[in-house]
Amino acid sequence: MGIEYIGGEVPVLLLIVCFLLAVLFAVMPLLAARDKDLVEPTRTQAKGLPTLVVLAGLALFIILAVVPIKAVAAEGAFNCGAVPCDHMEPDLNDKESLQRGAKYFVNYCMGCHSAKYSRYERVADDLDIPHNLMEENLIFGSERIGQLMDIAMKPQQSKVWFGVAPPDLTLVARARSPEWLYTYLRNFYKDETRPWGVNNRVFPNVGMPHVLIGPQGLLECSAGPKLNHHGGALRNDVGQVEVDEHCGALKEGKIKGSMSAAEFDQAVYDLVNFLEYVAEPVAVKRQAIGYYVLGFLLILFVFVYFLNREFWREIH
């Protein structure tokens, strides 16, 4: 506070704070003189809580922890609606996959879904996409690179068209899970009773049309094994696999896609990888910083260890 204030006039608030500090230092000896040495209190809870109360508390804790987990798990027999989730492991360091995913997302999804908590520029920088390429290929209409990835469709209109407004997808990978998305996007099938002629095994009676019909084609229901709770085939008493005639499996139908099944799986993988990235753009950086923090603590530990030895040297 003794140094010259760079900004010209010294703000009044600063003066007041300095004054109060000065007063505090001035009266401190008086305050200290009033301190009395008190008798050290005996520990208030030397005996601890009664065993019964401790056990009851523990039981309550376990109930409160387990019941919600069970309740959530009970929602469906499987994590992905009528089927177990297919495995997929996002790889946020695979920039090429993420770039392809971004391309699919703006082309196939942004007609209806926004990602309005994200900006084009951030995506371009994070995924190593040059700004001019981003502007030419991934940003449509009059949008500019600094803008949020919002869409023109109004929720009021889309609610009329689809029955539900398509939700924003910025955080969907965290709200659902990458496995759920990966399974959901690959499990649309033909169902003439639905308004769009399709249904979904993961999201029954979904309001979304099968937008990836071009690359995937239109799968149809066929007989397949009924599944037990672990996702394996359900067997009857004599060991035969029980068959679900309605929709136990999906098979290729009349409408073929432009991609093979393997290519399509890869495309959906890329798309979900991108959704995972956009749900937490700092994930890679956060992990990298984590290593530095652990390294710092490791080095600090050496110094603290010797400091501790120094402190206690004369005492033991």
Partners of 115 in beta bridges: 149
> Which is closer to ligand HEC, CB of 182 or CB of 248?
182
Distance of closest approach, residue 136 Cβ to ligand HEC, in angstroms: 21
Contacts by 209-212 with C-beta closer than 8 Å and gap 24+? 211/108, 211/109, 211/111, 211/112, 212/108, 212/185, 212/188, 212/264, 212/268
Cα-based distances in Å from 85 to 12, 141, 207, 251: 63, 37, 20, 18
> Which is closer to ligand HEC, CB of 224 or CB of 277?
277
> Which is closer to ligand HEC, CB of 80 or CB of 172?
172
> Which is closer to ligand HEC, CB of 109 or CB of 227?
109
Secondary structure of 228-256 in HEC code, one letter for each residue: CCCCCECECCCCCECEEEEEEEEEEEEEE
Q: Where does 186-234 have alpha helices with state H?
A: 213-216
Q: How far apart are CA 209 and CA 75, in angstroms?
A: 24
Q: How far apart are CA 271 and CA 99, in angstroms?
A: 9
Which residues have CB under 8 Å from 187's CB, separation 6+?
80, 81, 83, 200, 201, 202, 219, 250
Handedness of CA 176, 267, 273, 78 (dihedral sign): positive
Which residues have CB under 8 Å from 8's CB, separation 6+?
none
Distance of closest approach, residue 95 Cβ to ligand HEC, in angstroms: 20
Report which secondary-structure segment, H or E, holds 148.
Answer: strand 148-149
> Which is closer to ligand HEC, CB of 203 or CB of 248?
203
Distance of closest approach, residue 189 Cβ to ligand HEC, in angstroms: 15
> Which is closer to ligand HEC, CB of 92 or CB of 213?
213
Distance of closest approach, residue 173 Cβ to ligand HEC, in angstroms: 9
Distance of closest approach, residue 198 Cβ to ligand HEC, in angstroms: 12
Distance of closest approach, residue 184 Cβ to ligand HEC, in angstroms: 6
Q: Among 201, 223, 217, 224, which residue's Cα sits nearest to residue 253?
A: 217
> Which is closer to ligand HEC, CB of 98 or CB of 109?
109
> Where do contacts with ligand HEC occur on this chain (CB under 6 A)?
108-109, 111-113, 162, 164, 166-167, 169, 172, 175-176, 181, 184-185, 206-209, 211-212, 271
> Which is closer to ligand HEC, CB of 102 or CB of 271?
271
Rounded to the nearest 5 percent, the helix, strand and coil shares of the chain are: 45, 15, 40
Q: Among 193, 192, 190, which residue's Cα sits nearest to residue 210?
A: 190
Distance of closest approach, residue 53 Cβ to ligand HEC, in angstroms: 43
Distance of closest approach, residue 209 Cβ to ligand HEC, in angstroms: 5
> Which is closer to ligand HEC, CB of 209 or CB of 257?
209
Distance of closest approach, residue 153 Cβ to ligand HEC, in angstroms: 8
